[in-house]
């Protein structure tokens, strides 16, 4: 297809920008299962969540019915610093693949945090400030969420304490320095600062940490420090709500050129970028107006959708958080240390889990050497150095485009390019040096990990 059938980058004007977030739950017949109190087994009430989360965010978390949440002006203004993000027609990738498919990607890496996470970070920091809090605590894995949150907190004048998964803290010292530039206090997890950190270190000396463990530490600090609450960068309903900005912009950009996607692809860690990207498209699918295929891509080393079980589980290793019903590998699951590609969370958004369970969404897994091959191929033709997480989506977009080459179908493929990979160069180095390995857990390992799920009727 000739260059400039549509612009290489499709932008929206300020007027065309979405002014409200879309709540996908409002379109679901079967709502995602509620969070449960681990003590009573009953759905968590707002007042039980209040010591942990900000009030306004709890309302968003528990609201399955409101369709649109107006975006407060302060957040709309902040969004203007880096949004709209471009929807890019991947002409050069199409050419390189020799495919009749039309490939588009929504690029969320155009901000200093380098990922889509800023979309929710700014919302969460705003509501914390509005509530009069002093600060927030959080965990970060690869560091994108911590960076995004520290940017948002410095903008609103909030203190920010970040518990960073130890393996990333050590492998990504530059991330840490970006967070410190924005004023955040960064601690490697597990740490000796918290009771749960000390316990985990005693049980697993030398552990490289996990997101689940860092979450437990951040929650402990939030609930034991006056004026602090905990915020989370993925998994929760509220985060998918904020990330709907990605999908709404994508929908508006496609509509400008009368483009209807056949396949939408996104990488899935906790599910926030994918849940956000697909929100309006899944709504149409749920309402019978569209038969778009939606594909979640996860790492073969942390395959919650493709090999996990759909059950209530703890959101964190320390088992201090509410129970969520989700596709999970068990809250003790820790991906092999050679896993460099992010997307390390043991569970998956309850919204996406329910949609996947009902068959509205597909899921595939990819091994990391294939993911980095796709990343390199993409970087060389489209110019952007992709994050390893995003490259899971690239890998499957390329696979689907190559299938179109075989069948001669000119399908329209849209994928989420969630971020850039400048802080992942140790992983790129391992890939280039040929020392990157793939690790696929055995059925026994997964069975052992899911055997620790809490008993919930």
Ligand X SMILES: *Cc1c(COP(=O)(O)O)cnc(C)c1O
Which one of 152, 419, 431, 450 is in contact with ligand X (CB under 6 A)? 419
Which one of 111, 244, 390, 391 is in contact with ligand X (CB under 6 A)? 390
Which residues within the stretch 343-382 sit at the binding site for ligand X (CB under 6 A)? Answer: 343
Number of residues that bind ligand X (CB under 6 A): 19
Which one of 60, 99, 111, 115 is in contact with ligand X (CB under 6 A)? 115
211 belongs to the binding site for ligand X (CB under 6 A): no
Measured between its terminal Cα atoms, the distance across the chain in Å is: 55
Instruction: Give the distance from CA 119 to its chain's centroid.
Output: 11
Shortest reach from residue 352's CB to ligand X, in Å:
9
Which one of 418, 423, 428, 450 is in contact with ligand X (CB under 6 A)? 418
- Crossing angle for the helix pair 118-130 and 73-80, nearest 10 degrees? 150
3-class SS shares of the chain: helix, strand, coil, % to 5: 40, 15, 40
Contact assessment for residue 212 and residue 316, using Cβ atoms and an 8 Å cutoff = yes
Which residues within the stretch 128-157 sit at the binding site for ligand X (CB under 6 A)? Answer: 144-145
- Between strands 293-299 and 362-366, the pairing is parallel
Helices (H), 410-442: 425-432
Which one of 167, 268, 278, 305 is in contact with ligand X (CB under 6 A)? 268
Nearer of residues 272 and 301 to ligand X, judged by Cβ? 272
Rounded CA separation 413/399 (Å): 11
Shortest reach from residue 431's CB to ligand X, in Å:
17
Which residue has its beta carbon closest to ligand X? 419
84 belongs to the binding site for ligand X (CB under 6 A): no
Rounded CA separation 429/435 (Å): 9
Contact assessment for residue 306 and residue 298, using Cβ atoms and an 8 Å cutoff = yes
Contact assessment for residue 16 and residue 93, using Cβ atoms and an 8 Å cutoff = no
**Beta bridge partners of residue 327, listed in sequence order:** 310
Give which of 120, 126, 180 is closest to 158, Cα–Cα: 126
Give the interface segment with ligand X, choosing from 62-70, 156-164, 222-230, 267-275 (CB under 6 A).
Answer: 267-275
Shortest reach from residue 42's CB to ligand X, in Å:
27
Nearer of residues 166 and 175 to ligand X, judged by Cβ? 175
Contact assessment for residue 20 and residue 68, using Cβ atoms and an 8 Å cutoff = yes
Which one of 56, 94, 139, 389 is in contact with ligand X (CB under 6 A)? 389
Which one of 271, 280, 299, 441 is in contact with ligand X (CB under 6 A)? 271
Nearer of residues 145 and 378 to ligand X, judged by Cβ? 145
Which residues within the stretch 232-261 sit at the binding site for ligand X (CB under 6 A)? Answer: 234
Nearer of residues 91 and 104 to ligand X, judged by Cβ? 104
Give which of 1, 174, 171, 107 is closest to 378, Cα–Cα: 107
Q: Which residues bind ligand X (CB under 6 A)?
A: 115, 117, 144-145, 234, 267-273, 342-343, 387, 389-390, 418-419
């Amino acid at each position: 297809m000739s260059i400039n059938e549509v612009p290489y980058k499709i932008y929206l004007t300020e007027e065309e920008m979405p002014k409200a977030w879309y709540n996908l739950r409002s379109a679901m017949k079967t709502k995602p299962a509620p969070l449960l109190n681990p003590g009573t087994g009953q759905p968590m009430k707002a007042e039980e969540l209040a010591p942990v989360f900000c009030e306004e965010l709890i309302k968003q978390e528990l609201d399955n019915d409101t369709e649109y949440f107006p975006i407060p002006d302060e957040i709309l203004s902040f969004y203007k610093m880096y949004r709209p993000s471009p929807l890019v027609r991947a002409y050069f990738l199409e050419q390189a693949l020799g495919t009749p498919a039309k490939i588009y990607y929504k690029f969320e890496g155009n901000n200093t945090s380098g990922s889509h996470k800023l979309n929710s970070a700014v919302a969460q920091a705003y509501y914390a400030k509005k509530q009069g809090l002093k600060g927030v605590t959080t965990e970060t894995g690869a560091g994108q969420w911590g960076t995004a949150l520290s940017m948002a907190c410095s903008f609103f004048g909030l203190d920010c304490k970040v518990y960073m998964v130890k393996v990333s803290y050590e492998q990504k010292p530059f991330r840490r320095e970006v967070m410190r530039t924005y004023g955040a206090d960064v601690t490697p997890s597990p740490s000796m600062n918290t009771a749960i950190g000390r316990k985990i270190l005693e049980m697993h000396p030398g552990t490289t940490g996990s997101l689940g463990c860092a979450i437990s530490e951040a929650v402990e600090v939030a609930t034991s420090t006056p004026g602090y609450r905990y915020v989370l960068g993925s998994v929760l309903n509220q985060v998918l709500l904020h990330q709907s900005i990605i999908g709404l912009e994508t929908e508006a950009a496609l509509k400008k050129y009368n483009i209807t996607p056949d396949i939408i692809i996104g990488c899935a860690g906790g599910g926030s970028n994918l849940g956000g990207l697909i929100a309006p498209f899944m709504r149409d699918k749920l309402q019978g107006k569209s038969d778009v295929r939606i594909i979640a891509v996860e790492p073969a080393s942390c395959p919650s959708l493709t090999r996990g079980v759909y059950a209530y589980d703890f959101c964190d290793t320390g088992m201090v958080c509410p129970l969520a019903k989700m596709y999970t590998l068990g809250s003790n699951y820790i991906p092999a240390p050679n896993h460099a590609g992010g997307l390390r969370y043991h569970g998956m958004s309850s919204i996406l889990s329910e949609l996947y369970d009902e068959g509205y969404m597909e899921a595939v897994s990819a091994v990391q050497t294939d993911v980095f091959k796709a990343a390199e191929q993409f970087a060389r033709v489209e110019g952007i150095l992709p994050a390893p997480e995003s490259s899971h989506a690239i890998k499957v977009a390329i696979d689907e485009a190559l299938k179109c080459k075989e069948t001669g179908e000119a399908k329209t493929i849209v994928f989420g390019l969630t971020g850039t990979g400048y802080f992942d160069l140790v992983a790129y180095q391992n890939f280039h040096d040929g020392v990157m390995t793939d690790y696929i857990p055995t059925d026994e390992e997964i069975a052992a990990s899911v055997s620790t799920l809490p008993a919930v009727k």
